[in-house]
């Protein structure tokens, strides 16, 4: 009886240690970094999209007040990282490998964009006399 009780306690301890070791394992990683402009200033509110090459999983995030973005809890694999912000040309970085329990740092630099803008004026301006500098006004007899 004593031997079987010792056997049960031993097996319980072995199983408990194996299960505890499994809980510490992770199959996920992440990508973090800072988005800056050409002069090194951080870009607040830049949109960052992380896309898995193999599964198509998409994670959208934006940079914080310090220009930092975080895309965590990503399954291990290869990713495409795209960043954009108003007034800057979009940037795409391919083949970023994320391993198990690995957080990769990917700092991005956005370049100023030469976007063409079209301004449409809907209202017309009042006509202005530009041929002479004479001022004139009609005064009726009651005003005089």
Which ranges constitute the DSSP H helices of 24-125? none
Q: What is the arithmetic mean of pLDDT over 1-24? A: 55
Q: What is the arithmetic mean of pLDDT over 97-102? A: 91
- How many whole angstroms separate alpha carbon 81 and alpha carbon 96? 8
Q: Does residue 82 carry a pLDDT above 60?
A: yes
The pLDDT-based confidence of 50 (bands split at 50, 70, 90) is very high
Report the SS3 class of residue 82: strand
Note the pLDDT of residue 27.
Answer: 81
- Which residue did the predictor score with more confidence, 65 or 8? 65
Domain boundary assignment for the chain: 27-110
Instruction: Give the burial string for 44-80 (b: 16+ CB within 10 Å, else e).
Output: eebbbbbbbeeeeeebebebeeebebbbeebebeebe
Instruction: Give the burial string for 85-119 (b: 16+ CB within 10 Å, else e).
Output: beebeebeeeebebeeeeebebebebeeeeeeeee
Note the pLDDT of residue 47.
Answer: 97
Q: What is the arithmetic mean of pLDDT over 72-81? A: 94
CATH number of 27-110: 2.60.40.1120
Mean pLDDT of all residues belonging to the chain: 78
Per-residue pLDDT reduced to its tens digit, 100-143: 889 999 999 999 987 644 444 444 444 444 454 555 555 666 76
Note the pLDDT of residue 124.
Answer: 42
Note the pLDDT of residue 125.
Answer: 41
pTM: predicted TM-score of the whole model, two decimal places: 0.64
Give all strands (DSSP E) within the chain, no chain letters: 28-37, 47-52, 58-62, 68-75, 77-84, 91-98, 103-105, 108-110
Tokens of residue 124, six digits: 């017309």
């Amino acid at each position: 009886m004593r031997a079987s009780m010792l056997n049960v306690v031993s097996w319980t301890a072995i199983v408990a240690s194996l299960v505890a070791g499994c809980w510490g394992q992770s199959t996920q990683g992440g990508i973090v970094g800072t988005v800056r402009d050409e002069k090194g200033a951080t870009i607040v509110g830049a949109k960052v999209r992380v896309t898995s090459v193999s599964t198509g999983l998409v994670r959208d995030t934006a940079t914080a007040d310090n220009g930092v973005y975080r895309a965590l809890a990503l399954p291990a694999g290869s990713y495409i990282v795209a960043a954009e912000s108003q007034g800057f040309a979009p940037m795409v970085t391919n083949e970023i490998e994320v391993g198990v329990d690995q957080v990769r740092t990917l700092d991005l630099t956005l370049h100023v964009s030469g976007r063409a803008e079209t301004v449409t004026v809907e209202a017309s301006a009042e006509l202005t006399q530009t041929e002479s500098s004479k001022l004139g006004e009609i005064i009726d007899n009651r005003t005089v």
